[in-house]
Amino acid sequence: MTYLNFTKSKKLLNIDNNAKTVKGQKKGYKTAILYLAPSTQSGFNVCPQASLGCKKACLYTAGHGRFNSVKQGRINKTRWYIQERNTFMAQLKKEISNHIKNCSNKGFIPCIRLNGTSDISFENTGIFEEFPNVQFYDYTKIYKRALKYVNGEYPSNYHITFSLTEDNHKEAFDILWRGGNISAVFRTDELPQTYKGYKVINGNETDLRFTDTPNSICGLPAKGDAKKDISGFVID
């Protein structure tokens, strides 16, 4: 593996800079998110199952992500994680502990998304077991991860939502059939109440996917470049 230069970030987790996660505070939850550089932006692939439509519609450059300093910061974090895993995880655990203390002082339940813009199998690090009182949750396009989740193979404080793309409809509806949840991007802002017989939940109301009812779809309106999608990633 070729070593790629990076600068260690002073801060890994982002708190209160995502409109949807801030909405969750009204329900008593406070979410911290780890944003890495998606796909191969860092020189390392952290989204192994990203489809063409997903890559083109990625919100990586949305909001603060459009600034070069933010992009470089996420690249640095990703290279740190890949190349010096032990020191990265030590810093991450320190910040999680601080997040727990902050939430306790302010009366919030601590939540964390480690895959804000990546799709890494953090379940292999033991971090969920180390922080049993934190609600972890993620979106994934890796079918095997979602399947393990619905089969009850992950810790109870980790929730996974499987992301529907143009090339994984069979897998996505298998996850739904098994009692799991999926997310889907729709072209219209007015989301349907159901899709293919399954209830659609408005994913813009909060980011608290672990509160979604089983066998439901988290509907997300297309934003930015996603509105121009012709791959089938966005549902008409």
**Band (94; pLDDT cuts 50, 70, 90):** very high
| Nearest residue to 185 (alpha-carbon basis) of 54, 10, 21, 20 | 54
* Residue 130 token pair: 């180390």
**Beta carbons within 8 Å of 199's beta carbon, 6+ residues apart:** 193, 213, 215, 216, 217
**Across 185-197, average pLDDT:** 92
- The residue type found at 21 is T
Q: Is the pLDDT of residue 58 over 90?
A: no
Say what the pLDDT of residue 55 is: 72
Query: What is the arithmetic mean of pLDDT over 199-220?
Result: 95
Question: Token pair for residue 9?
Answer: 């970030």
The answer to whether the beta carbons of residues 96 and 13 sit under 8 Å apart is yes
Q: Find all residues with CB under 8 Å of 192, minimum gap 6, and list them.
A: 186, 200, 219
pTM flag (> 0.85):
yes
Name 201's bridge partners: 218
Domain segments of the chain as ranges: 13-235
DSSP-derived letter for residue 50 is -
Show the tokens assigned to 168: 């994984």
Percentage above 70 pLDDT, the chain: 96
pLDDT of residue 232: 86
* pLDDT on residue 60: 62
Listed residue (221, 212, 204) closest to 19, CA to CA: 204
The mean of the pLDDT values for the chain is 92
**pLDDT for 28:** 95
Which tokens in the block code for residue 63?
């909001």
Tell me which of 46-60, 90-104, 195-209 is least confident.
46-60
pLDDT for res 65:
54
Q: What is the mean pLDDT of residues 53-60?
A: 71
Q: Which of 171, 96, 111 is nearest to 141 (CA)?
A: 171
Q: Does residue 53 have a pLDDT over 90?
A: no
Q: Show the CA angle centred on residue 12, arms to residues 182 and 109, nearest 5°.
A: 60
Q: What pLDDT, in 10s, does the model give residues 118-150?
A: 999 999 999 999 999 999 999 999 999 999 999
Task: Tell me which residue has tokens 């969750």.
Answer: 24
